[in-house]
Amino acid sequence: MDTLADLLSLEVYRAFLVFARVAAAVSLLPGFGELAVPPRVRLCIAIPVALALTPTVPGLPDRLPPDAAVMLEQIFAETVAGAFLGLGAKLFLASLQVAGNIAAQAMGLANPFGTDAAGFESGSILSGTLVIAGLALLFALDLHYLMIDALVRSYGSWPAATLPDPGMVAGRYAQLVGVTFRLGVQMAAPFLVFGMIANMALALVNRVMPSMPVYFVATPAMVGGGMLVFLVTAGAMVTAALAAMAGWLGGR
């Protein structure tokens, strides 16, 4: 009886380790970890995925930890691994947020009281539109399956129940933040060019006709022109962000 109890305890502990990584990732991954998704729904997603992955995960402990400190360390290591994967994928949605905010600022639609979208604060109408479109396209392209596949492959680069070097994790995350921020600025490049040209033209008009109310005349023109640029480039921006996310999740 003691042997059977020990075996069952070990299997439960191994499944809980996998659940710690999966639950941390699901609570932060785009689409799954949004504020609109209730915690119970995330739990209902994480439990079946963890139970399905447990028999296939290599390197799980073959015996129970000798004390509670080792057990907590292993659970913490799994939680950090899942959180890194979830936050990393979330940063690619943040690049859409950056691009949308830059575009809104260029055309005069930046509003500090804008509605938040997908958990990002201080969003604008354009950034919220891009993020929601990115979430819809994410599921339409079945990238959520790629997220689960990335969870499986993460055990190859991040062994189970092993805490990596914190400096390495911080360095990789900082590098990823730089990559996604640069991606957001690159996607917003047409709006930067549009804003520069429009403001230079308005400055010349103001010099030629100082009495003309530039603000009231130019604001509709800038909003209209910016919306035309947005309609042309929005699809490419969302596609570029999701392609970059898919490449990162695929290990490319």
Residues 98, 38: contact at Cβ < 8 Å? no
Mean pLDDT of 58-64: 84
Planar angle of CA 246, 47, 166, nearest 5 degrees? 60
pLDDT of amino acid 2: 54
Strands (E), the chain: none
* CA 13 – CA 131 distance, rounded (Å): 38
Share of the chain above pLDDT 90, in %: 29
Residues 188, 130: contact at Cβ < 8 Å? no
Higher pLDDT, 6 or 10: 10
- DSSP lists the bridge partners of residue 117 as 120
Planar angle of CA 59, 65, 66, nearest 5 degrees? 145
- Answer yes or no: pTM beyond 0.85: no
